Amino acid sequence: MKNKMTRNVILMAVVTVIMAVALSLYIQNTGTVPAADNAASLTDGIYTSSAQGCLSDVTVKVTVTGGRVTGVEIDASGETPELGGTAAEALAAALLKTGSTAGVDAVSGSTMTSQAIFTAMDDCLSQAQ
């Protein structure tokens, strides 16, 4: 009986380690865009675009320096502050980190605002190409 318990404990420990490695690889590889993707040949400048959010137009201003996205500002002041305003803050950081909308998820509860931000961001990147 002791041998079966020892074997089961060792087996569970091995499975736990394998799952931890798989989870860490998954976390590491999702939601981020490799630096080479953000190093696309974008033309330096400041690009602005707007799209319809839930209550108002949402404006995105993208700064490109050295062919890379170096700044993302989002004006969602016409949206509900608790929802659209929070989404704008979270998405500005995520879009700056990735340099595009690829791999960036919409903010729960602010789907329309998030989609407007993604549309405007994609338009800004199209202008920069």
Say if residues 84 and 55 touch (Cβ distance below 8 Å). yes
pLDDT for the residue numbered 39: 46
Say if residues 54 and 113 touch (Cβ distance below 8 Å). yes
Domain 35-128: state its class: alpha beta
pTM of the model: 0.67
**How confident is the model over 100-127, as pLDDT tens digits?**
888 888 888 888 999 999 999 999 999 9
What is the full per-residue pLDDT of the chain (129 aa) written as tens digits?
677 778 888 888 888 888 877 767 766 766 544 444 444 588 999 999 999 998 889 999 999 998 899 999 999 988 888 888 888 889 999 999 988 888 888 888 888 999 999 999 999 999 998
Q: What is the 3-state secondary structure (H, E, C) of the chain?
A: CHHHHHHHHHHHHHHHHHHHHHHHHHHHHCCCCCHHHHCCCCCCEEEEEEEECCCCEEEEEEEEECCEEEEEEEECCCCCHHHHHHHHHHHHHHHHHHCCCCCCCCCCCCHHHHHHHHHHHHHHHHHHC
The ranges assigned to domains in the chain are 1-30, 35-128
